[in-house]
Amino acid sequence: MNTDQLILNAKVYNSYYKRFETANVAVKEGRFLYVGPLGAETFVAAEIIDAKGQYLVPGLIDIHLHIESTMITPETFSYGILQHGVTTIVPEPHEMANVFGVEGVHEMIRASRDCQVDMFYAIPSSVPATPLETTGGSIEISDIDELMETQRMICLGEVMNFVDVIRDPGGKSNRILQHVRSRYPGLVIEGHTPKLLDLDLHQLIYAGIDSDHTHQSIEGLTARIAAGMFIEIQEKSMTPEVVDYLIGHPVSEHFCFVTDDVMTDSLVQTGHLDHLVRKAIAMGMTPEDAVYAATFTPARRMKLDDRGVVAPNKTADYLLLSDLDSFAIEAVYKRGLQVYDRKQPQSQVVREPQFPAHFYKSVQLEPLAEVDFSVPSELPDGSYGARVMMVNNVSTFTEEKHVEARVKDGLLQWQETGCGLIATFERYGKNGNRAYGLIGGDTIKRGAVATTYSHDNHNLLVVGHNAADMVLAANTVIAEQGGFCVVCDGEVLALLALPVGGILTEAPLVETAELVLALRTAMESLGYNHYNPIMSISTHSLPVSPALKITDHGLIDVGAGKVVPLLFPLGKA
């Protein structure tokens, strides 16, 4: 029997029994033909690979991520994750959609069409995430219909405004959910349900949202699984107690691993989905169960029944591992063709420009001055209570704290509070909105950071401790048409230019990783204490992530879903 490829002497992972079996594998026309004891005496193969006892597992599948989180293009992203065994992903381009609307989605898909990794896209459902922010674009029901008709969309991306779903039956989120459930009844609907329990949680599930990828606790995890939710475990949820629960309870069909947001330096230095598999094994999960959660269950969740398994008629995406416990990847194959060899890695070929010309001109802001970091107040001179966004070093969630602050001559004397200043400026040229707040906790203690990479509206966000540094950081980002800049004492310590929509670079993977590492190091040198300072500061403007955030509309009480004042009468918050 003629085949394209024959792999001999491999320890093949059987997903249906969650075990490894010594076998030979035949591949024909990009699909597995045979897995079993028969070998060269039966098959005539164009290519024969002697696995020499290496482990053969399905290509890894990541069903919840945002390419824009790496701040690189789909092509560069594909090049990077193939080296880590990821062969299929379901990206949701809601960052680019917030900048350019449905055009941003189309252009991200177009930019990924020649990628070796299979990319099945999620339709951004929450653009903007809430009505409490200004974005460059939006996704409406008509855009969803257009995307379903013209593109390869596999699910409705995370429905983020849980407050809207619960409290506003006629709101945009519920209109989208009702439309999708009636017109596309088989479409998977992804969720974003941080900390919700009991009736609130069940209302979201009743509305059709049956997955969650946010930070999990044991209480939340058990409540979600008991109510029929599928759980997508990202690294920040891999606490000892959560992993022990996943190991000790029969829930393997109800969860998978996902990455959500991975910084470029972490991608190069640590890995991608393979890192989570490796970490799960190190924390006590069997390799068989860890592989299952990165291949079989994510494929089933997204109805990708042609992959995630080494079995006849399944897509021949697979990895060869020299060691199972350390998940040491020697080679990666896509549809039976080798796309990565650890011993002979390929260099990246970079194309630019990859996007339309106007994608490089999205920051419509004039240079700022020190007066722009004076906080005006209409309140009479005197002392007031002030809300402070407190950064937490183990989460992107923040907390609200109150301090005493003084107003003098129509200005908040924020420098006297011991807190930093956080400010955001609408950058699309729509309304000129700006808002101010106080910030403390595990953030920078001096200098300034400015960025247009601020979830999900991607307006200009600036955090700092003196106006001069904040001006330099902000104007450097504006001049670059977007990016990330760290400043201290009048000196630029780190700069990452992001000229594509203010959120992406077309620089090569390794070069970008070095710049991101320098950015992280500079933020830490200013006192930022967080496992991921870049993602932490970027989510200060995400009004669906608890508890106190900021947009160009003002400070947002996320739980209440409303704008709250920075200042209030003492003792009357």
pLDDT in tens, 328-342: 999 999 999 999 999
State the pTM of this model: 0.95
**Which residues, other chains included, contact 399 with Cβ-Cβ below 8 Å and sequence gap of 6+?**
390, 392, 441, 547, 548
Cα–Cα distance, 333 to 455 (Å, whole number): 35
Q: Would you list the domain boundaries of the chain?
A: 59-311, 358-569
The pLDDT value recorded for residue 573 is 73
Cα–Cα distance, 445 to 430 (Å, whole number): 33
The pLDDT value recorded for residue 347 is 87
In which element (H, E) is residue 6 found? strand 2-14
Count CA atoms within 13 Å of residue 45 on its CB side.
24
- Token pair, residue 266, equals 């972490």
Task: Using alpha carbons, select from 147, 214, 217 the residue that is nearest to residue 183.
Answer: 147
In which element (H, E) is residue 326 found? none
Q: What separation, in Å, do the N-terminal and C-terminal C-alpha atoms of the chain show?
A: 77
R_g of the chain computed on alpha carbons: 25
300: left (phi over 0), alpha (psi -120 to 50) or beta: alpha
- Token pair, residue 134, equals 């200004």
**Which residues, other chains included, contact 282 with Cβ-Cβ below 8 Å and sequence gap of 6+?**
none
Reported residue count of the chain is: 573
* Count of CB atoms situated within 10 Å of the CB of 261: 23
User: Long-range contacts: 346-350, Cβ < 8 Å, 24+?
Assistant: 348/76, 348/79, 348/508, 348/509, 348/510, 350/76, 350/506, 350/507, 350/508
Pair 260, 267: CB distance under 8 Å? no
Tell me which residue has tokens 């629960």: 245
* Count of CB atoms situated within 10 Å of the CB of 311: 16
In this prediction, the residues of the chain whose per-residue pLDDT falls under 70 are none
**Which residues, other chains included, contact 316 with Cβ-Cβ below 8 Å and sequence gap of 6+?**
5, 27, 30, 31, 32, 333, 335, 336
**Which residues, other chains included, contact 248 with Cβ-Cβ below 8 Å and sequence gap of 6+?**
none
DSSP conformational letter for 467: H
Task: Using alpha carbons, select from 562, 558, 561, 551 the residue that is nearest to residue 434.
Answer: 551
- CATH number attached to the domain at 59-311: 3.20.20.140
Task: Using alpha carbons, select from 453, 455, 424, 454 the residue that is nearest to residue 515.
Answer: 453
**Which residues, other chains included, contact 335 with Cβ-Cβ below 8 Å and sequence gap of 6+?**
30, 31, 315, 316, 317
3-state secondary structure of 314: coil
Burial annotation 389-399 (CB, 10 A radius, 16+ → b, else e): bbbbeebbbbe
DSSP conformational letter for 260: B
